[in-house]
């Protein structure tokens, strides 16, 4: 009879705890705690991995002191892993790579985590002992994480476009407004930077379906998705909100930057030729989420800016806070100057 591994009880507890989680960000944070408890490494990093051509880049998702830091792909946190010893080999060939530590004590280990289309994460452990079954145990933990990550990814994605779905947007907004004052989420180098919620709606999409059929309508949605994906950073999260409406959560940036980015997107959509359909335009509304604001209120603010664009000619970009400051929209309960009260 085989002797039980010292990792068995940790693995059982991890399988129960991790399988109860409902989004990949929370899963990543909990998984790092599991690895820390199981292996007691000198240093631990978990990366989100992105591939462009033959080059891998990543955002460090977990800091050395084992808590989750939501870097969301910002440029200063991005690392190109091709030049990191062991990481490139692991990402290219898969599996697990071990290297002796330069200090002569312990082993550095890299383990790739795969998704449907290649690597989605990379585990990096420093200074661990590998003489008591640690390698087999790490492979087991990594396989568990990979399976759960894949299940959550499938549940969180829109079936047609592959973007995150509406449920994930709601969850992310809940975390964002509950995390702390939005001012705490600004970039340290720019006190005028805030996260933004953006809603994008394809103009006259019903006409496209009615005139060309749903096959071409779906093709427009897929090509529209590609335009969105090519217009934003890794950390800017893209969602299909429903039908022909999309949402983007922008990492902190200034209002002027948001206006410029969204105007470029509007122009890119307007100038793109969709097969069979031709020109398509989109209306865009955005707002700044506020600390402890109900998610429904945040969405309503972005939706009011989008509605204003629709009502005033379509193919426009509007930001709720600018509309509010100019008097173009009003807070709930405030009288509109154009309405007579009796």
Separation CA 254–CA 193 (nearest Å): 4
Question: Residue 125: pLDDT band by 50, 70, 90 thresholds?
Answer: very high
| pLDDT above 70 (res 137) | yes
Which percentage of the chain shows pLDDT scores above 90?
59
Backbone angles phi, psi at 145, to 5 degrees: -60, -40
Question: Residue 333: pLDDT band by 50, 70, 90 thresholds?
Answer: low
Give exposure, 63-85, as e/b (b: 16+ Cβ within 10 Å).
Answer: eeebebeebbbeeeebeebeebe
**Angle at Cα 273 formed by Cα 249 and Cα 317, nearest 5°?**
35
| pLDDT above 90 (res 19) | yes
Higher-pLDDT residue of 159 and 334 is 159
Residue 120 is predicted with a pLDDT of: 87
Residue 72 is predicted with a pLDDT of: 36
Residues annotated as catalytic are 244
How much is the pTM? 0.76
CA distances for 129 relative to 117, 145, 227, angstroms: 32, 21, 47
Rank 15-29, 48-62, 180-194, 280-294 by mean pLDDT and report only the highest: 280-294
Separation CA 117–CA 234 (nearest Å): 17
Can you list the domains of the chain with their CATH numbers?
A: 8-156 (3.30.450.40), 166-326 (3.30.70.270)
Burial-class residue 275 by CB neighbours within 10 Å (0-12, 13-18, 19+): exposed
Separation CA 172–CA 55 (nearest Å): 29
Give 68's DSSP letter.
B
Q: In 10 A of CB 257, how many CB atoms? A: 15
Separation CA 96–CA 241 (nearest Å): 38
């Amino acid at each position: 009879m085989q002797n039980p591994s010292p990792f068995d009880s940790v693995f059982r507890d991890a399988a129960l705890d991790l399988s109860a989680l409902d989004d990949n960000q929370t899963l990543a944070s909990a998984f790092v705690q599991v690895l820390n408890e199981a292996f007691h490494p000198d240093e631990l990093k978990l990366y989100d991995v992105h591939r462009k051509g033959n080059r891998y880049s990543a955002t460090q998702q977990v800091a050395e002191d084992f808590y989750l830091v939501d870097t969301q792909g910002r440029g200063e946190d991005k690392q190109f892993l091709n030049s990191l010893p062991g990481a490139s080999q692991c990402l290219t060939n898969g599996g697990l790579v071990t290297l002796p530590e330069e200090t002569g004590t312990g082993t550095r280990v890299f383990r790739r985590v795969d998704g449907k289309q290649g690597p989605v994460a990379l585990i990096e452990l420093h200074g661990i002992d590998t003489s008591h079954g640690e390698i087999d145990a790490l492979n087991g933990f990594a396989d568990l994480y990979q399976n759960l990550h894949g299940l959550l990814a499938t549940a969180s994605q829109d079936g047609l476009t592959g973007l995150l779905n509406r449920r994930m947007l709601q969850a992310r907004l809940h975390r964002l407004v509950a995390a702390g004052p939005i001012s705490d989420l600004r970039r340290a180098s720019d006190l005028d930077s805030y996260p933004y919620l953006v809603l994008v709606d394809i103009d006259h999409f019903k006409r496209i379906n009615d005139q060309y059929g749903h096959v071409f309508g779906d093709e427009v949605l897929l090509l529209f998705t590609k335009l969105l994906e090519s217009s934003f950073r890794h950390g800017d999260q893209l969602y299909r909100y429903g039908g022909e409406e999309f949402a983007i959560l922008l990492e902190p940036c200034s209002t002027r930057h948001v206006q410029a980015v969204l105007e470029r997107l509007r122009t890119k959509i307007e100038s793109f030729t969709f097969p069979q359909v031709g020109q398509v335009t989109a209306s865009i509304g955005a707002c700044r989420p506020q600390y402890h604001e109900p998610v429904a209120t945040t969405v309503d603010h972005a939706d009011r800016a989008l509605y204003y664009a629709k009502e005033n000619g379509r193919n426009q970009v509007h930001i709720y806070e600018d509309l509010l400051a100019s008097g173009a929209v009003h807070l709930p309960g405030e009288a509109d100057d154009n309405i007579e009260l009796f």
